[in-house]
Amino acid sequence: MSRNHGPNMHSLRNLLLGQWLCGERLSGKTVLVTGANSGIGKETARDLAKRGARIILACRDMAKAEAAQKEIIEDSGNQDVVIRRLDLSDIKSIREFAEIINKEKQVNILINNAGIMMCPYSKTVDGFEMQFGVNHLGHFLLTYLLSDLIKRSAPARIINVSSMAHSWGTIRLDDLNSETSYDSRKAYCQSKLANILFTRSLAKQLQGTGVTAYALHPGVVQTELSRHLSIPLKFAWMVGRPFTKNSVQGAQTSIYCAVAPELEKESGGYYSDCAPATCTRSAMDEEIAQKLWELSCRMLAITWE
Ligand SMILES: NC(=O)c1ccc[n+]([C@@H]2O[C@H](COP(=O)([O-])OP(=O)(O)OC[C@H]3O[C@@H](n4cnc5c(N)ncnc54)[C@H](OP(=O)(O)O)[C@@H]3O)[C@@H](O)[C@H]2O)c1
């Protein structure tokens, strides 16, 4: 497990540059990015395409996916960028997607990036609260379904895009789906806390397989994630613009976790600004992580031991 500590000179330098500088190539590797048609996911995919990997853009809207594919191919000169349909709010779609991906020769880097924030109360096709369902359960199931292929592709990495919003989250073990009461902010924070707890458990689960796992906070990034914010919050988001990152800057920690050679032997840690970072005590709670794992398996009707 990586140690958790605050930003250092290295991370400050990265913060000032806004871009992680590393010439590492990925020729011969396959990368899968969820939610790759916009924001952080698209910029992550673009960078990794420039490094020569085969890129799979996993998106729910195929028109947006096609536009992103065209843009990334033109910009990177890498023709090996493909799109596949994945709706993380639908178990059937996740299973169909995984069946197609499992025919790939390999997946060396899985980036669980897609996300939805502070939407009004709604349910996934399978009846899970939307943010918990998409941000946590959807990626949990996807990772499970691809885990054998990823292990066969080792050395391999799994990256879960979390958020510093995990700090305000609690895992409501008795009501993960917010059925008794719903607060869109708390539900988002719960889902992002779940991303880190999942990463910790995953690292344990994958010990000795050559597959490592990382969770990260990308920064406060100007993307379409703010679409469900109330008008006052949207206004605050706009006013804060000069102090936030653009999508390219926001993608850097995902790229760092996917590529940095020095992370090869690390697993289960939390990163921000291209460096190890501090997560809350709740995000390091092994007991909650274990309970969340068990409940997630039960909700998805899978056995993952
Ligand atoms: N922006 C920030 O300040 C910030 C801060 C901390 C963490 N994050 C995290 O960063 C990640 C990327 O977010 P972003 O800021 O780049 O936002 P974004 O531009 O809204 O991108 C989110 C992506 O997720 C996709 N998505 C949403 N629901 C989906 C579903 N049911 N199935 C498949 N894909 C789905 C979206 O697809 P559509 O285009 O079809 O909706 C989009 O491609 C998220 O996990 C977010 O929680 C962002």
Q: Give all domains of the chain, ordered by start, each with its CATH number.
A: 9-219+247-300 (3.40.50.720)
Phi first, then psi: give them for residue 173, nearest 5 degrees: -60, -30
252 residue type, one letter:
Q
Distance, in Å, from the CA atom of 38 to the CA atom of 282, rounded to the nearest integer, reads 30
User: What is the whole-number distance in angstroms between the Cα of residue 208 and the centre of ligand 1?
Assistant: 31
Residues lining ligand 1, Cβ inside 6 A:
34-35, 37-41, 59-61, 64, 86-89, 113-117, 134, 161, 163, 217-218, 220-221, 223-225
**Atom 34 in ligand 1: residue holding the nearest Cα:** 35
- Tokens 């941000």, located at residue: 135
User: What is the whole-number distance in angstroms between the Cα of residue 45 and the centre of ligand 1?
Assistant: 13
Q: At 83, is the secondary structure helix, strand, or coil?
A: strand
Taking each helix axis from N to C end, the angle separating 139-152 and 286-300, rounded to the nearest 10 degrees, works out to 100
Q: At 276, is the secondary structure helix, strand, or coil?
A: strand
CA-CA-CA-CA torsion for 100, 101, 106, 110, nearest 10 degrees?
A: 180
Q: Which atom of ligand 1 is nearest to the CA of 162?
A: 7
Tokens read off for 190:
């719960």
Q: At 36, is the secondary structure helix, strand, or coil?
A: coil
Choosing from 33, 40, 227 the residue with most ligand 1 atoms within 8 A of its CB, the one to mutate for a pocket test is 40
200 residue type, one letter:
R
- Tokens 């510093």, located at residue: 164
Annotated catalytic residues are 188
Are 20 and 14 within 8 A, CB to CB?
yes
Q: Which atom of ligand 1 is nearest to the CA of 34?
A: 34
User: What is the whole-number distance in angstroms between the Cα of residue 225 and the centre of ligand 1?
Assistant: 6
Distance, in Å, from the CA atom of 88 to the CA atom of 82, rounded to the nearest integer, reads 18
| Chain CA centroid to CA 41, Å | 9
Residues near 126 by beta carbon (within 8 Å), at least 6 away in sequence: 90, 91, 133
Q: Around Cβ 163, how many Cβ atoms within 10 Å?
A: 27
Distance, in Å, from the CA atom of 164 to the CA atom of 171, rounded to the nearest integer, reads 15
- Which residue spans within the chain are E strands per DSSP? 30-34, 54-59, 81-85, 109-112, 156-161, 211-217, 269-272, 275-276
Walk along the chain (305 residues) and give the pLDDT tens digit of each residue.
333 434 455 555 555 557 888 999 999 999 999 999 999 999 999 999 999 999 999 999 999 999 999 999 999 999 999 999 999 999 999 999 999 999 999 999 999 999 999 999 999 999 999 999 999 999 999 999 999 999 999 999 999 999 999 999 999 999 999 999 999 999 999 999 999 999 999 999 999 999 999 999 999 999 989 888 888 888 877 788 788 999 999 999 999 999 999 999 999 999 999 999 999 999 999 999 999 999 999 999 999 98
Q: Which atom of ligand 1 is nearest to the CA of 60?
A: 33
User: What is the whole-number distance in angstroms between the Cα of residue 274 and the centre of ligand 1?
Assistant: 20
Rounded CA Rg of the chain: 18
Distance, in Å, from the CA atom of 184 to the CA atom of 120, rounded to the nearest integer, reads 6
